[in-house]
Chains A and B, each alone.
Chain A
Amino acid sequence: MKNQNRVQALLHSMGEVKSLKKFRAIFETIEGIIFGNRVVTLRAPHIKDNIEIKRYMSFAIIGLMPATIAAVYFYGLYALAIIMTSYVAGGLVEVAFAILRDREIEEGFLVTGLIFALVLPPTLPLWAVAIGSIFGTFFGKEVFGGTGRNIFNPALVGRLFITIAFPQQMSAAWKEPFADVISSATPLGVFKVSGEMSSYMDLLLGMHAGSMGELFRLGIIVGGVFLMLSKVSNWRIPVSYLGTVFVLSLIGSPFINTIAPPIFSLLSGGLLFGAMFMATDPVTGPRTNEGKFIFGIGCGLMTLLIRSFSGYTEGVMFSIIFMNGLNPLIDHMVLKSKYRNNKL
Chain B
Amino acid sequence: MKVQNGKITGGYEFKQFLGQPESGLVVQEAPEYLFVPLCSASLGIKPLVRAGDKVKSGQIVWQDNDSISSPVHSPVNGVVKSVQKMNYLDDEILSLKIESASSEGWESVPGSGSEWNKLGKDEIEKILYLSGTSALGAEGIPTRFRTAVISPEEVKHIIVHYTFAEVYNPDISLFLDNGGARKFTEGLAVLAKIMDQAEIHIAVGINSSTWFQVIENALPEDLSVEYHRVKPKYPQNHDSVLLKTILNLDLPTSYSGMNRGVVIIGIQDVCQVYDAVVTGKPLVDRIIALGGPGFKDHSHRQVKIGTTVAAIATNNLSFDDPEDLRFINNSVLTGSTLSPESPIGRNSEVLVALEEKRGQELMFFARPGFGKDSYSNTFAAKFLPFTRKVSTNLNGEVRACLSCGFCQNVCPGGILPNILFPYVERKMLDETVIQYGIFKCIDCNLCSYVCPSKIPVASHLKEGKKELLSEAFVSEKDFINAYNLIGLGEATDEESE
Q: Do A and B bind each other?
A: yes
Identity of the chain A residue whose Cβ is nearest the Cβ of B459 in the assembled complex: A43
The smallest beta-carbon distance between A18 and chain B, in angstroms, is: 25
Please determine whether B395 and A49 come into contact, CB atoms closer than 8 angstroms. yes
Q: CA A147 – CA B357 in complex, angstroms?
A: 28
Let me know if A232 and B453 touch, CB within 8 A.
Answer: no
User: Does any Cβ of A come within 8 Å of B449's Cβ?
Assistant: yes
Interface centre among B335, B352, B374 (most CB of A within 10 A): B374
Contact A282 B378 (CB under 8 A): no
Q: Contact partner of A339 among B357, B418, B435, B482, CB < 8 A?
A: B435
Residues from chain A with Cβ under 8 Å of B225 in the complex = none
Stretch of A50-58, A76-84, A185-193, A207-215 that contacts chain B: A50-58
B445 engages A288 (CB within 8 Å): no
Binds B, one of A33-41, A158-166, A176-184, A254-262: A33-41
| A97 CB to nearest chain B CB (Å) | 13
Q: Are A230 and B399 in contact (CB under 8 A)?
A: no
Counting CB contacts under 8 A, is B403 at the interface? yes
**How many angstroms between the C-alpha atoms of A49 and B435 in the bound complex?**
30
Considering only CB atoms, which chain A residue lies closest to B445 in the complex?
A45
Partner of B359 from the list A38, A41, A229, A331 (CB cut-off 8 Å) is A38
B197 at the interface (CB under 8 A from A): no
Q: Kindly list chain B residues whose C-beta atoms are within 8 Å of the C-beta of A252.
A: none
B interface residue count range (under 10 / 10 to 19 / 20 to 34 / 35 or more): 35 or more
Residues of B within 8 A of A45 (CB): 332-334, 445-446, 448-449, 458
Interface status of A194 (Cβ within 8 A of chain B): no
Q: B404 touching A230 by the CB < 8 A rule?
A: no
- In the bound assembly, the distance between CA atoms of A86 and B479 in angstroms comes to 56
Known: A48-B393, A53-B397, A282-B405. A8 touches B436 (CB 8 A): no
- How many A residues touch the partner, as a band? 35 or more
B439 within 8 A of A: yes
Contact with A along B452-492 (1 / 0, CB 8 A): 11100010000000000000001000110011000000000
Contact B395–A43 (Cβ < 8 Å): no
Q: In angstroms, how far is the closest chain B Cβ from the Cβ of A229?
A: 6
B377–A231 CB distance below 8 A? yes
- Whether B449 lies near A48 (C-beta < 8 A) is yes
A169 contacts B by Cβ under 8 Å: no
Indicate if the CB atoms of B396 and A37 lie closer than 8 Å: yes
B403 touches A55 (CB 8 A): no
Q: Flag if A47 contacts B397 (CB, 8 Å).
A: no
Contacts of A47 in B (CB 8 A): 167, 332-333, 354, 390-392, 449
Q: Indicate whether A125 reaches chain B with its CB closer than 8 angstroms.
A: no
A283 at the interface (CB under 8 A from B): yes
Residues of B within 8 A of A104 (CB): 397
Interfacial chain A residues near B474, Cβ < 8 Å: 344
Bound together, the chains give a CA A8 to CA B361 distance in angstroms of 12
Q: Does B252 contact A (CB under 8 A)?
A: yes
Asked whether, in the complex, the Cβ of B372 is within 8 Å of the Cβ of A50, the reply is: yes
Of A4, A51, A54, A59, the residue contacting B375 (CB under 8 A) is A51
Chain A residues near B394 (CB, 8 Å)?
A: 37, 39-41, 48
Does B1 lie at the interface of the complex (its beta carbon under 8 Å from any beta carbon of A)?
A: no
When C-beta atoms are compared, the residue in chain B nearest to A8 turns out to be B360
CB distance from B483 to the nearest CB of A (A): 8
Task: A48-B448, A145-B400 are known; give 6 further A-B pairs, CB within 8 A.
Answer: A4-B362, A37-B360, A39-B397, A47-B333, A48-B396, A50-B395
Question: Nearest 4 pairs between A and B by C-beta?
Answer: A52-B396, A148-B400, A54-B365, A35-B360
